[in-house]
């Protein structure tokens, strides 16, 4: 399965890979944006790619095994500064694409999709360490109030309390271990009108669990701080967010960086996908791109 990168042309327009010597993709994923960056950047430039999913990194490592410019690392972008220091002191362009890969949704087997029946893991790591917190650990072990809190905070789920209550009731009868078991609990907990609305009733719960399992918002905050530290003078930072919590974090970080006179925000409003892209790639509908240039 191919992963269609969102806002592909816009990423290359803001990142300007043809002008620099070192580029970093902090979320290499299926490599959609990475291929474009590598094609455009000078022959003597280097490309560093980070991803938490070893399966993704291994796949791309095989594809680019003959390209001496490419360095691919399994890691979490919250540790960006430590990961990249052995490859370059600074980068002329840094990209964060915070969206879930269609490859992970369809083929990971880790329970990211509520449309499949898979183990309830939701870890970005394909080989999670023993004792790693998973979605199953949360739904079977956390208190009702703690579950409700993350559903409301990370999923902005208005039925957080009844869903949390239903989860706790269901797990007393049998441990919830698969995505479809959780989906059934959610569907029974919400009003009929919500079950048949525009969004699948499990959408926000699955988002909240995934964010909590992977500590996504804290990781993003630390990743952005690290990126600003290694962004070269005149370098460009491009971030694509897919939900309001991420986008708010990015917006506030770039605004504060500009106020601190570190550079200029290039996007007064977030760049969104054109209608043609949304038709061909529906997941681009919620994408918001923001860009920043470091002061020379």
pLDDT tens-digit series, residues 72-91: 999 999 999 999 999 999 99
- Token representation of residue 157: 């789920």
Q: What is the pLDDT at residue 104?
A: 63
Domain that holds residue 243: 8-103+216-294
Q: Do 76 and 134 reside in the same domain of the chain?
A: no
Quick: pLDDT tens for 194-238: 988 888 999 999 999 999 999 999 999 999 999 999 999 999 999
pLDDT greater than 90 at residue 103: no
Q: What is the pLDDT at residue 126?
A: 79
Residue appearing with tokens 């003078």: 233
Please indicate, yes or no, if residue 92 is contained in any of the structural domains.
yes
Q: Is 67 helix (H, G, I), strand (E, B) or coil?
A: coil
Can you tell me the distance from the alpha carbon of 37 to that of 79, in angstroms, rounded to the nearest whole number? 22
Q: What is the pLDDT at residue 258?
A: 98
Can you tell me the distance from the alpha carbon of 206 to that of 243, in angstroms, rounded to the nearest whole number? 13
Q: pLDDT confidence of 1, banded at 50, 70, 90?
A: very low
- What CATH number does residue 242 fall under? 3.40.50.150
Q: pLDDT confidence of 105, banded at 50, 70, 90?
A: low
Q: What is the pLDDT at residue 102?
A: 64
pLDDT greater than 90 at residue 283: no
Q: pLDDT confidence of 19, banded at 50, 70, 90?
A: very high
Q: Do 170 and 256 reside in the same domain of the chain?
A: no
Quick: pLDDT tens for 127-155: 778 888 999 999 999 999 999 999 999 99
Please indicate, yes or no, if residue 2 is contained in any of the structural domains.
no
Please indicate, yes or no, if residue 3 is contained in any of the structural domains.
no
CA distances from 233 to 56, 78, 81, 203 (A): 31, 22, 16, 41
pLDDT greater than 90 at residue 99: no
Strands 231-241 and 288-294, by their bridges, are antiparallel
Report phi then psi at 202, rounded to 5: -90, -5
* Domain's final residue, options 169, 198, 214: 214
Can you tell me the distance from the alpha carbon of 22 to that of 17, in angstroms, rounded to the nearest whole number? 9
Q: What is the mean pLDDT of residues 21-42?
A: 94
The kind and range of the H/E element at 162 are: helix 160-173
Q: What is the pLDDT at residue 128?
A: 78
Can you tell me the distance from the alpha carbon of 90 to that of 135, in angstroms, rounded to the nearest whole number? 36
Please indicate, yes or no, if residue 162 is contained in any of the structural domains.
yes
What pTM does this model have? 0.92
Q: What is the mean pLDDT of residues 95-100?
A: 90
* Domain's final residue, options 214, 247, 263: 214
| Alpha helices by DSSP H, 174-243 | 179-189, 192-195, 203-214, 216-230
Query: For the chain, what's the residue count?
Result: 296
Q: Do 282 and 230 reside in the same domain of the chain?
A: yes
- What CATH number does residue 146 fall under? 1.10.150.170
Can you tell me the distance from the alpha carbon of 196 to that of 201, in angstroms, rounded to the nearest whole number? 8
Q: What is the pLDDT at residue 177?
A: 97
Please indicate, yes or no, if residue 19 is contained in any of the structural domains.
yes
Domain count, the chain: 2
* Domain's final residue, options 198, 214, 230: 214
Strand order in the sheet with 288-294: 70-74, 46-51, 22-25, 91-97, 231-241, 288-294, 263-265
């Amino acid at each position: 399965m191919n992963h269609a990168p969102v806002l592909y042309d816009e990423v290359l327009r803001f990142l300007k890979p043809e002008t620099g010597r070192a580029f970093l993709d902090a979320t290499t994923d299926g490599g959609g944006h990475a291929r474009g960056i590598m094609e455009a950047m000078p022959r003597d430039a280097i490309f560093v790619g980070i991803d938490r999913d070893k399966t993704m990194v291994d796949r791309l490592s095989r594809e680019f095994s003959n390209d001496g410019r490419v360095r691919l690392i399994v890691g979490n972008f919250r540790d960006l500064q430590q990961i990249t220091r052995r490859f370059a002191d600074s980068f002329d362009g840094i990209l964060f694409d915070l969206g879930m890969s269609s490859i992970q949704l369809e083929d990971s087997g880790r329970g990211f999709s509520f449309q499949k029946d898979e183990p309830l893991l939701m870890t970005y790591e394909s080989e999670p360490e023993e004792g790693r917190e998973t979605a199953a650990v949360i739904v079977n072990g956390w208190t009702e109030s703690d579950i409700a809190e993350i559903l409301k905070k990370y999923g902005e789920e208005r039925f957080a309390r009844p869903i949390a209550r239903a989860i706790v009731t269901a797990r007393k009868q049998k441990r919830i271990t698969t995505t479809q078991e959780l989906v059934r609990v959610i569907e029974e907990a919400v009003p009929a009108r919500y079950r048949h609305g525009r969004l699948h009733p499990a959408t926000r719960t699955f988002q909240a669990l995934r964010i909590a399992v992977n500590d996504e918002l804290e990781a993003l905050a630390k990743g952005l701080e690290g990126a600003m530290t290694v962004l070269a003078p005149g370098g460009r930072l491009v971030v694509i967010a897919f939900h309001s919590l991420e986008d708010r974090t990015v917006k506030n970080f770039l605004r504060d960086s500009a106020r601190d006179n570190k550079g200029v925000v290039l996007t007064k409003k977030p760049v969104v996908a054109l209608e043609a892209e949304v038709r061909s790639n529906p997941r681009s509908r919620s994408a918001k791109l923001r860009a920043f240039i470091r002061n020379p």
